[in-house]
Amino acid sequence: MSEKQTVRLLDPLFTTDSMREIFSDRRRLQGMLDFEAALARALARAGVAPDASVAPIVAQCSADRFAMDVLAREAALAGNLAIPLVKALTAAVAKSDAQAAGFVHWGATSQDAIDTGLVLQLREALDLLQRELAQFSSPLARVAEKHQSTLLAGRTWLQQASPVTLGLKVAGWLDAIHRHQARLANARREVSTLQFGGAVGTLAALGDKSPAVAAALASELKLQLPSIPWHTHRDRFAEVATRLGLLVGTMGKIARDISLLAQTEVGEVLEPAESGRGGSSTLPHKRNPVGSAVVLAAAIRVPALVSVLLTAMVQEQERGLGGWHAEWETLPEIFLLAAGALAHLTHVVDGLEVFEEHMTHNLGATHGLILSEAVAIALAKHIGRSPAHQLVERAAHRALQSGRPLRDLLLEDQEVRARLSSAEIDGLLDPRNYTGSAASMIQQVLADEKKNR
């Protein structure tokens, strides 16, 4: 019986169809059935079960053959989904081959099927995220390269500090994404590990055949064979959650930057415009940063979900009570939110509208104060750092009080003029001359991007 379709009104806002499909009820069930089918083949390969038992079991290992609503009700009584599923699978196999039915789930326990099924989902979900991160890197690199010389005010503590370039800012975002690509690749390798230990992790039911069955099962599922089962050692799942939490945190930082730059009073960038996007139910003129809002919502929600996985690591003895159960919906939810945030952010950066004239205007908002460090550094070569800092600080305060340009006050200061010519002062107050190594840093990140492709 196929899974009943449910309308999820907020899914298009907070996640993607492809990630929702990976963590659908049907795919959860199919992952466990893939474990059972692989176990049947492994038992035959190791000589535990007859070869003839494989086909009847594998033939029934399709999620579409099971009634989801019935399994859900029975799982609520049993405490996990594997118990009613194995019961139903055994009954289905018995209808065609009673002997084969006796080898369903042989030597395994519920947690083996549930954990390994989830591992198969996680592997696919991480592959999807990796592909989508690679897609996100492309518009980031394009914006960084196009705007490597586009000047705007660098801001610290939300105040103008010194000039930067838009390319440098975006290259910083891209560099962080490169780190997350490496982290997720490592997490995929680590989590792609078979869970197979039987009741208490000894595989006692399989006797001396247990190593051969475990090796064959790992081979069938293309998973790593661990040295020992990990029923109550949840670091692999917690690591995946934590690394996704880091990714969502970085995406939140990018969304925060974009939304701040898009404020009306700043107006340096805007999210892409399209029909029905970012409007207001009341204010006709509004163009709200919808994409950034969704990403920031994920950045608020995911850390708490990650903490659940970290807390759930403290499990009892050989099988956990409650901590294991807490992972089942929490880990998929992290993936769903991460995928949704990434999709929105990719769309935003790909169509980002940049207003260079506003950036130039904002650079001049302080009438030269944004270049005060450049002047202080130049003077420091003549009178030392501290005296130079104090001298320029006094001039800056007078500029703020009087509303006059910093240049005028510097030209009127005899101590400054004794050491710097008007031409030198003009050069120091030109933001194009004070971006340091921004260009070379951008080029290095873009070179890293090319290596990653």
3-class secondary-structure state, position 271 = coil
319 tagged catalytic: yes
> Which 8-state DSSP code applies to residue 209?
G
Cβ contacts of 88 within 8 Å, gap of 6 or more = 66, 70, 71
Q: Give the C-alpha separation, 310 to 186, whole Å.
A: 18
Whether the CB-CB separation of 71 and 78 falls below 8 Å is answered with no
Q: Which residues pair with 155 in a beta bridge?
A: 160
CA distances from 113 to 22, 81, 83, 231 (A): 17, 9, 10, 11
Check 26, 319, 404, 419 and give the catalytic one.
319
Give per-residue burial for 26-35: e unless 16+ CB within 10 Å, then b.
ebbbbbbbbb
One of 2, 96, 280, 421 is an active-site residue; which one? 280
- By the 8 A CB rule, do 341 and 298 touch? yes
107 contact partners, CB below 8 Å, separation of at least 6: 39, 43, 48, 198, 203, 205, 206, 210, 213
165 strand-pairing partners: 151
DSSP designation for 224:
B
Q: Which residues are catalytic?
A: 280, 319
